[in-house]
């Protein structure tokens, strides 16, 4: 069984060792949700489609007297070899066949968030027409070739042990006490597989379940939760050499500015656009799910940092010019939204929240926590939460830099520069840990799953840039207090945070716990008991961060290498600045490095004694910078070998 992206069909091939031994009844089933959600099917109909297929049609539910607008069609067609085939009212019946190939296609009338005018029947008809003269082998070869053009760009080899060849459940059990480094390579590539399979140019972005959901009312509605989860899905897209797979996310950001600008104007009386913590297929941008979640105003701002990341990895100025208005619109909103803190020194967001965490600030009321399935007391409403300040510090910085690159510096840019320096800086509380709120409050939940106030360490930059010995200890104290155990996405985040702090052994320890407690046998991550793909993507990003970092203005190799990963090879990995890397290491020492320059910009890497750089067989001169890096000029498309 496989799904073909180029032919848009799912193919099932059934064979047997003896002729005439395959008999079965197939049917297509719709699902009607008894709770009558407006996401559920209102009706469906199953019918035969000729003598070799079945068809299922339906529509979305009516809601409050408004007819459901989404229409869908699914169709299956059989191609048996030998035996007989027929259909009755709802079944496809195969008897005594030698082999059977089933082709399945489906479509809706959805065009985009404001257009459902497509013809779902014609779409399915076109899919089947396109494969009329193709057979199973041809479609399979095309699907594999299409997949490989993405997947084969990157390879990661970590040491194999005897356990590496065992079934996955046994590997997961044994890795807790015996090394199996190649398991991490498998997890790394699984995340890339998910990205290739769920986020292609022209599709929707990967949501909380990616595209792997079979429920009419799935966990969290299979939406886009942007207080960490959607962003985590796309953490590995650029470094994993899958840059074009970010297109659906960028398109969603553009579409969010439609309602986002209305919300900014009508809800806040502000310019620009704003988006909160949750959206769906229809690109809603207003606050939802009550004030404790809805007051997260920086969801759109966080998404905009992914636009800058795409530029950082590609150095595509045309892309930056095209998307600059999106970043500027977000900045405009917050320039209007920020208000002075009572101390007269700072600017803060108000109202504000630190996602899904509840400080012990007094006057708390009970609320129901969906993840822990219990009632607790708390309130999230505050002013100037740490994550707000960190996201805006990064966003304003990216906007200032983009303005300089595009020659758009003006009075407004100067105002943004001034405002940026007034955002609440990182605060250390009385207990020595990094504060999650502007006030020195403590979390009601000791081991809370979110690390919102650590955004600026990873995936952001501000905490890393502002690091001091005292702050580094404050970061570590937060991580120690929260512990290593949690949901899938939380463990992936912890892996990346410890990697930024240079502790690969701790990251590896958390990875093993993730495999044991928050990862399915199929390698999908879990959030509690629910499948959720963000953790799988997050692990891919974290493995990258353990083996290469490029956020600090230079390339650093093996910055958080676990002791168990002493030997390995990484090929095709991308770094900021438009570079693609192949490198190998033995006994924890880099033995070979090849750098491909895609943009022709100067390359800076961490200096290692005795390094020699050559291009086309000639030694290239380089300079050693005061911060113990080496820098050399590169030509676009040139390959540099470093020994």
Give the pair of three-digit tokens for residue 503: 């502790």
Q: What is the pLDDT averaged over residues 171-176? A: 96
Return mean pLDDT, the chain.
91
Give which of 329, 327, 348 is closest to 260, Cα–Cα: 329
The reply to whether CATH 2.70.98.50 applies to domain 2-149 is yes
* 328-341 pLDDT per residue, tens: 999 999 999 999 99
Could you read off the pLDDT of 560-611 as tens digits, one per residue? 999 999 999 999 999 999 999 999 999 999 988 999 999 988 889 987 766 6
Phi, psi of 67 (to 5 degrees): -65, 135
The C-alpha atoms of residue 561 and residue 568 are separated, in whole angstroms, by 10
With contact defined as beta carbons under 8 Å apart, do 497 and 489 qualify?
A: no
pLDDT level of residue 368 (50, 70, 90 thresholds)? very low
Task: Identify the band that residue 374 occupies on the pLDDT scale cut at 50, 70 and 90.
Answer: very low
Q: Roughly how many angstroms between the first and final C-alpha of the chain, as a whole number?
A: 45
pTM of the complete model: 0.94
Instruction: Answer yes or no: is pLDDT of 279 > 70.
Output: yes
Could you give the C-alpha distances from 620 to 292, 604, 605, 632, in angstroms and in order?
Answer: 57, 14, 14, 8
Pairing of strands 629-632, 579-586: unpaired
Enumerate residues 6+ apart whose C-beta is below 8 A from 347: 338, 339, 340, 341, 419, 422, 423, 424
Q: How do residues 528-564 score in pLDDT, each as one tens digit?
A: 778 899 999 999 999 999 999 999 999 999 999 999 9
Structure tokens given for 406: 């595009």
**What six digits make up the tokens of 550?**
């490029």
- Judged by average pLDDT, the poorest of 36-40, 128-132, 256-260, 410-414 is 36-40
| Nearest of 239, 244, 234, 230 to residue 201 by alpha carbon | 244
**Mean per-residue pLDDT for 451-459?**
96
List Cβ neighbours of 429 (8 Å cut-off, separation of 6 or more).
435, 440, 442, 474
Q: Which helix (H) or strand (E) holds 366?
A: strand 365-369
DSSP code, position 67:
P
Predicted confidence (pLDDT) per residue in 515-531, tens digit: 999 998 888 998 877 88
Q: pLDDT tens digits for 182-228?
A: 999 999 999 999 999 999 999 999 999 999 988 878 888 899 999 99
CA-only gyration radius of the chain, Å:
26
The encoded tokens of residue 24 equal 């079965």
pLDDT for residue 361 is more than 70 = no
Q: Which CATH architecture has domain 199-483?
A: Alpha/alpha barrel (1.50)
When pLDDT is cut at 50, 70 and 90, the band that residue 631 belongs to is confident
Residue 479: predicted pLDDT: 96
Taking residues 442-469, what's their average pLDDT? 92
Give residue 293's pLDDT: 84
Residue spans of the domains in the chain: they are 2-149, 199-483, 566-642
pLDDT tens-digit series, residues 2-27: 999 999 999 999 999 999 999 999 99
514: left (phi over 0), alpha (psi -120 to 50) or beta: alpha
Q: What's the whole-number mean pLDDT along residues 87-112?
A: 96
- Calculate ∠ Cα 572-577-580, nearest 5°: 10
Q: Are 159 and 566 in contact (CB under 8 A)?
A: yes
Residue 34 has a CB neighbour count (10 Å cut-off) of: 8
Instruction: Report the DSSP beta bridge partners of residue 24.
Output: 94
User: Rounded to whole angstroms, how far apart are CA atoms 207 and 468?
Assistant: 37
CATH superfamily assigned to domain 566-642: Golgi alpha-mannosidase II (2.60.40.1180)
Nearest to 298 by CA among 309, 285, 312, 308: 285
602: alpha, beta or left, given left = phi > 0 and alpha = psi -120 to 50? beta
Q: What backbone phi and psi angles, to 5 degrees, belong to 275?
A: -145, 145
pLDDT at 611: 67
């Amino acid at each position: 069984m496989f799904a073909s992206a180029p032919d848009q069909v799912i193919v099932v091939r059934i064979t047997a060792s003896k002729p005439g031994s395959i008999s079965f009844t197939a049917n297509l089933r719709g699902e009607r949700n008894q709770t009558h959600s407006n996401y559920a099917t209102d009706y469906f109909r199953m019918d035969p489609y000729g003598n070799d297929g079945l068809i299922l049609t339906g529509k979305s539910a009516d809601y409050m007297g408004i007819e459901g607008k989404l229409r869908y069609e699914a169709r299956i067609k059989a191609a048996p070899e030998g035996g007989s085939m027929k259909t009755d009212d709802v079944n496809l019946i195969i008897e005594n066949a030698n082999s059977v190939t089933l082709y399945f296609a489906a479509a809706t009338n959805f065009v985009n968030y404001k257009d459902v005018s497509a013809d779902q029947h014609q779409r399915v008809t076109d899919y089947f027409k396109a494969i009329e003269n193709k057979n199973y082998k041809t479609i399979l070869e095309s699907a594999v070739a299409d997949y490989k053009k993405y997947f084969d760009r990157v390879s990661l080899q970590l040491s194999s042990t005897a356990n590496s060849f065992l079934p996955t459940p046994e590997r997961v059990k044994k890795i807790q006490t015996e090394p199996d480094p190649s398991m991490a390579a498998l997890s790394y590539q699984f995340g890339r597989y998910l990205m290739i399979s769920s986020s292609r140019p022209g599709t929707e972005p990967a949501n909380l379940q990616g595209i792997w959901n079979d429920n009419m009312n799935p966990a969290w509605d299979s939406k886009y939760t942007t207080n960490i989860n959607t962003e985590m899905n796309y953490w590995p897209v650029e470094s994993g050499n899958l840059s074009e797979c970010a297109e659906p996310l960028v398109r969603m950001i553009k579409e969010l500015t439609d309602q986002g600008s209305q919300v900014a104007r009508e809800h806040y009386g502000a310019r620009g656009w704003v988006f909160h913590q949750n959206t769906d297929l229809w690109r809603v941008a207003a606050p939802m799910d009550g004030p404790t979640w809805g007051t997260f105003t920086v969801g759109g701002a966080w998404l905009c940092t992914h636009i800058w990341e795409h530029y950082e990895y590609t150095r595509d100025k045309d892309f930056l010019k095209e998307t600059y208005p999106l970043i500027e619109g977000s900045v405009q909103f917050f320039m209007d939204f920020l208000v002075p803190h009572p101390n007269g020194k700072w600017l803060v967001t108000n109202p504000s929240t630190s996602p899904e965490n509840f400080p012990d600030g007094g006057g708390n009321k009970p609320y129901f926590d969906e993840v822990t399935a219990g009632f607790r007391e708390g309130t999230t409403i505050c002013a100037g939460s740490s994550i707000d300040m960190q996201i805006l510090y990064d966003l304003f910085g990216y906007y200032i830099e983009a303005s300089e690159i595009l020659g758009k510096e003006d009075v407004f840019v100067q105002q943004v520069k001034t405002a940026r320096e007034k955002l609440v800086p990182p605060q250390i509380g009385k207990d020595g840990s990094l504060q999650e709120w502007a006030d020195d409050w403590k979390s009601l939940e000791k081991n809370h799953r979110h690390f919102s106030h650590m955004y600026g360490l990873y995936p952001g930059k501000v905490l890393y840039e502002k690091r001091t010995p005292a702050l580094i200890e404050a970061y570590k104290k937060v991580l120690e207090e929260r512990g290593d155990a949690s949901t899938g996405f939380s463990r992936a985040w912890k892996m990346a945070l410890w990697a930024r702090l240079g502790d690969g052994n701790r990251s590896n320890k958390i990875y093993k716990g993730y495999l044991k407690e928050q990862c399915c046998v199929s390698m999908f991550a879990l959030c509690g008991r629910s499948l959720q793909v963000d953790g799988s993507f997050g692990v891919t990003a974290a493995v990258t961060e353990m083996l290469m970092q490029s956020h600090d203005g230079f390339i650093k190799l093996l910055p958080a290498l676990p002791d168990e990963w002493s030997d390995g090879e990484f090929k095709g990995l991308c770094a900021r600045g438009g570079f693609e890397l192949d490198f190998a290491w033995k006994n924890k020492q880099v033995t070979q490095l090849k750098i491909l320059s895609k943009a022709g910009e100067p390359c800076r890497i961490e200096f290692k004694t005795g390094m020699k750089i050559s291009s086309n067989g000639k030694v290239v001169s380089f300079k050693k910078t005061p911060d113990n890096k080496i820098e050399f000029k590169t030509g676009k498309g040139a390959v540099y070998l470093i020994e």
